[in-house]
Chain A
Amino acid sequence: MTRLLLVFLFLFPAISHALDIEIVGGAAQQIPIAVVPFNQPPGVSPESVSTIVANDLRRSGFFRLLETRGVATQPHELSEVKYPEWSALQAQALTIGKVEPSSGGHVKVTFRLLDVLKQSQLAGMEFDVAPTQLRKTAHKIADIIYEKLTGEPGVFSTRITYVNKTGKHYSLVVADADGGSPQTVLSSTEPIISPAWSPDGTKLAYVSFEKKKPVIFVQSLTSGQRYVLANFKGNNSAPAWSPDGKRLAIVLTHGGNSRLSLINADGTGMQPLSSGSAIDTEPDWSPDGKWIYFTSDRGGSPQIYKISPLGGDAQRVTFEGSYNVSPHVSPDGKWLTYIRRDSGKFQVAVRELASGQSQVISDSTQDESPSFAPNSRMIIYATSVGNRGILSVTSADGRVKQRLSEMGDVREPSWGPAAN
């Protein structure tokens, strides 16, 4: 297996350092692609659009980025492309483009994706955007290339959330899927855990200990306004949005037992869902809304079960091993990712729901909180290196892994929904 070690550092004035990225592994079949550095005048943006595009494609594991510097012609226009030079490089696809000043302080970004063998254009687009939108535009271009060449939607324009602990300080952060443009949306001296995206990506539910006990809040990412979703006696935790965004499954501890409840997104209409004296926690809805997967120790050890949001009996889902927790269903409804403990190692597992076949896909030992990307092809999770929390992203088959790390202690990642 090829071993790539790449570190990119994006720096942003006035915001915290972005995550460093480190990639390990590679897909078996990688598409050789050349991304010619775009013609971008200096001063437009500190970031190179074509570099962001190339990094996105490389990180996905589906592409082999070819070195373009040795090629005689560096085209930016279709008329400048000499195809034989690129077939000599064994490129299957070629990306060219340019960034130019436009009216009203905007910039115009033009790009083309070309099929080298057929000598034809696969995609071409022009964007007229504010300079602050260049990163976003670059991710969009990478998404278009990814979809054209793999047949599946890309996730480079999506966002992630995570909690960063620095000393005794906790920050809830929202960032691009590559860790770029991190924005702190909440800062506290008390722990923050379990952030969960609303299905439309406009809100986060999370658990904050700022009232000296776990209380669930919902916060708008557009206005920054927030409200208490649940502050019942005891613990309020583990929020999970229903697919229609109208309700959440949460965990309350009436009388000491952690049980599943349902609550409207405005905090009204709380009703208990599960009962009994065991631990029930970590609910997660199937995308069709028919099931809520959750962790329970009702069978003597923590295992994953599913229950209808209408109530009724729970069905056990995992049987192998003595500790299976933190279930998350893939957006296409076909897979379940969770944490399995085996021989003292806590690792990310993926289970095909139809066949019940599962496999461990991580090689670390202290993994937590796995969740799928919106295209169901990648999983983000928290792990630990040298006793410091970092985030890791893996292809759903475990073949390609990248590490996102940052100063501090990073945990509780959650991958946001598809970008609009």
Chain B
Amino acid sequence: MKKMLGLLFIMSILAACSSKPVKEETKAAPVPPPVAQAQTPPPAPQTQTTPVEASKAEVNPLTDPNNILSHRNVYFDYDKYVVKPEFQSLVEAHSKYLMDHPSARITLQGNADERGSREYNLALGQKRAAAVKQAMNVLGVQDKQIETVSFGKEKPKALGHDEASWAENRRVDLVYPGEQ
């Protein structure tokens, strides 16, 4: 686990370092100096919130494939941001986990398929993340445990241009700290 976190840490440093402004190639090109850019500090692996109760369980319930908590995707209909009934048990399981672990945090990452306006899809992804958050709030999860973010259609998981890919990308990912 520690090794993995260390690897993640290094990977996130590498990722952070790769976002740099282009160096000036010609005198005429107004290119920003490499300041105020790529200052994204790598998210420190928050081991204190890593929800492994080593004494009781060897297996992390969040990653145990037999545990519903390892399921992290909520899918949506086209142009919609209503959490469908089939995802209720998934949302309930994660809500219970968060309530049982008040120091645990979760990020809800909203996504949209490639069709239509980028900004509208960004708003749609946000609405989807907010819909999952709302469902968790209703079940009793505190606001401070949940962060919502949207990638709109900018980070598609499925790269095809068909209904199957679009359906895969209309999604909210439930991400715990240290995961990506």
Which residues of A are interface residues toward B (Cβ below 8 A)?
Answer: 14-15, 132, 171, 183-191, 193-194, 209-214, 219-228, 234-235, 237-238, 251, 253, 255-258, 279-282, 295, 301-302, 323, 325-326, 339, 341, 346, 366, 368-369, 387, 411-412
Given contacts A214-B150, A224-B30, A226-B32, contact A281 B122 (CB under 8 A): yes
Cβ–Cβ contact B31 & A369, under 8 A: no
B47 interface residue per 8 A CB criterion: no
B contact face: mostly helix, strand, loop, or mixed: loop
Cβ–Cβ contact A256 & B126, under 8 A: yes
Instruction: Specify which chain B residues have a CB less than 8 angstroms from the CB of A257 in the assembled complex.
Output: 126-127, 130
Cβ–Cβ contact B32 & A225, under 8 A: yes
How distant is B12 from chain A, measured CB to nearest CB, in Å?
A: 10
What are 7 A-to-B residue pairs whose CB atoms are below 8 Å?
A: A14-B26, A191-B151, A193-B119, A194-B118, A238-B122, A258-B122, A258-B126
Cβ–Cβ contact B31 & A256, under 8 A: no
Instruction: Specify which chain A residues have a CB less than 8 angstroms from the CB of B38 in the assembled complex.
Output: 210
B124 interface residue per 8 A CB criterion: yes
From B16-24, B48-56, B68-76, B85-93, the one touching the partner chain is B16-24
0/1 per residue, B115-145, Cβ < 8 Å to A? Answer: 1111110111011011001100000000000
Residue in contact with B116 in the complex, picked from A227, A228, A280, A323, CB distance below 8 Å = A323
Instruction: Specify which chain A residues have a CB less than 8 angstroms from the CB of B31 in the assembled complex.
Output: 183-186, 224
Given contacts A132-B28, A225-B33, A256-B130, contact A210 B116 (CB under 8 A): no
0/1 per residue, B7-21, Cβ < 8 Å to A? Answer: 000000001001111
User: Most A CB atoms within 10 A — which of B33, B40, B130?
Assistant: B130
Cβ–Cβ contact B118 & A279, under 8 A: no
Cβ–Cβ contact B40 & A210, under 8 A: yes
Instruction: Specify which chain A residues have a CB less than 8 angstroms from the CB of B20 in the assembled complex.
Output: 187-188
CA distance A325 to B115 in the complex (A): 12
Given contacts A256-B127, A258-B127, contact A279 B120 (CB under 8 A): yes
A184-B25, A224-B33 known; 19 new pairs, CB 8 Å cut-off, are A15-B25, A183-B29, A185-B29, A186-B21, A186-B31, A187-B21, A210-B19, A210-B37, A210-B40, A237-B122, A238-B122, A256-B127, A257-B127, A279-B123, A280-B123, A282-B119, A326-B119, A341-B116, A369-B117
Cβ–Cβ contact B150 & A282, under 8 A: no
Given contacts A132-B28, A189-B19, A221-B30, contact A194 B126 (CB under 8 A): no
Instruction: Specify which chain A residues have a CB less than 8 angstroms from the CB of B25 in the assembled complex.
Output: 14-15, 184
